[in-house]
Chain A
């Protein structure tokens, strides 16, 4: 079953009255449950592609279908809803809210989904426990190691049971040992939850562990 289809996806930014094409016609298909790496040198447009696939940004032209829904014609409210329900983001710098505990960070997407706080925190507790953070739930991000923070971020990305997880350099801020653990965890989640996993990375070693590599250069697909 196909999960993602893009056709001639292009993105152009306007800065100082000058057009900067970042993506120049990307056509790709990703099946549900696939584990894909998007690689390419910096400035190749991989982050922009990830933002569009994650419904954070919109393409300038071309088509993008997620689960058969035409994202190009969706309203901002619909995009917000899709981000909340269908997509989970994992960032290089974890992007946890600094003034919230691990538990509250994890529960946040459920609150935005309209679930009551008690239920949301119960779900967050179960998820964090399964990720080995049972005794860290009341810690604030600055009290956690990088690997632990990224695991909280993964829990947050998973809490609303999304069908798509987008990870932007998930191991970029971690030492190699923690990086390995996190990557192993993502692999495991991909198989156990059958969630489509897209990792954006410039490290060939990480890309090699996925089932497919999509290579970008100057806004076009190389491979």
Chain B
């Protein structure tokens, strides 16, 4: 008796108990659908993140003037005072480390920016002429501020794509004047539209002015010292090396004792990307773990229903044995039935999972990636569940004594 015939016998037997079979495989469907859609969404989010990081240029490094990571771990008995960066620090690093292409202070603050009746509360980023290049921003219209404008602290501003639209809904913002804290700034550039960063503020609303300008006109929050530096590295492959060189240089410049920890913090984008991917991965793993529990419960349900089926069909098994059915065929018949059930659950789960993923993707505008690996994995998992949880009931059927089985009513 070949396997195709056994599969047909299994399907016939499952069709004979349509509702029972559907209810039994429902748990498998839900479990597999959850895993498939979780993976599809998780991978979509991860891919989008990755694309975003790649578009930002991976050769970006940010340095903070304090290290929150050392809290509670300082070795000396005295809390070191926060030492802010100065423009001289930027020059020093640029001169000492040949891997740095550009370096700029990076200061930001919330401001209100106005054009007549149009007001926008947004984040202003202040730095030198290289800040926009470092941050990988591209200009759609106009220019970035020049070295001279930056050094003189001229009243010029570059607007994010959306910021320009909000302030000048009906006209081109270029070469117009906007007001920040009663000072008029000339719009010299407008940035291209950027994709939103998962979980972060809309970058299209940001505006950029020279740091010197901010120091002159907004001295209440902006001084000659700053908390953050942004810099770019010539080669992506040199990120790691550049990070350690900068660390060494800053430790010397800030006179940190060998036993003390860094009083500054270097973020390279690659590490941030990695951490974000890890966080998404952990979340996915957790959801898959929960879904696996539902799958396990469903598997126990399959075993239960197969045991019921064997008991119900004891007489049938006895007849088959009397007709000369070998035990291994009885075993395979019930095993195939269990596997057919779980695989039908797997097929249903994959279809429902794909449906749910696309629905969520459509409703929330998220990227959805369904990999062949997750579909193949679902089929392998359900087959193994059928094999594993169907084996005991199948052996029970195959080991029946034909006389006792035939005597069953």
Contact = CB atoms under 8 A, between A and B. Distances in A.
A99 interface: yes
B325 A80 contact: yes
Interface residues of A, number: 25
B316 A97 contact: yes
Given A51-B403, A56-B403, A117-B5, A95 B319 contact: yes
B324 A112 contact: yes
B1 A112 contact: yes
A171 B327 CA distance: 30
Interface in A98-126: 99, 108-109, 111-114, 117
Contacts of A54: 322
Interface in B254-288: none
A84 interface: yes
Nearest to A85: B324
Contacts of B5: 111, 117
**What is the interface residue range for chain B against chain A?**
20 to 34
A204 B369 CA distance: 78
Contacts of B13: 99
A83 B319 CA distance: 11
Majority secondary structure of chain A interface residues (helix, strand, loop or mixed): helix
A193 B13 CA distance: 36
A57 B327 CA distance: 15
A18 interface: no
Contacts of A113: 324
Contact of B323 (A99, A114, A156): A156
A80 B327 contact: yes
B403 A57 contact: yes
B203 interface: no
A111 B16 contact: no
Contacts of A138: none
Contacts of B315: 95
A160 to B, nearest CB: 8
A89 interface: yes
B329 interface: yes
A81 interface: yes
A77 interface: yes
Contact of B1 (A57, A99, A114): A114
A76 interface: yes
Given A85-B324, A97-B316, A99-B12, 19 more contacts: A56-B406, A57-B403, A76-B327, A80-B324, A80-B326, A83-B321, A83-B323, A84-B323, A89-B322, A95-B319, A109-B324, A112-B1, A112-B320, A112-B323, A112-B324, A112-B325, A113-B324, A114-B1, A160-B324
8 contacts: A57-B402, A80-B324, A80-B325, A80-B327, A81-B324, A84-B325, A95-B406, A97-B319
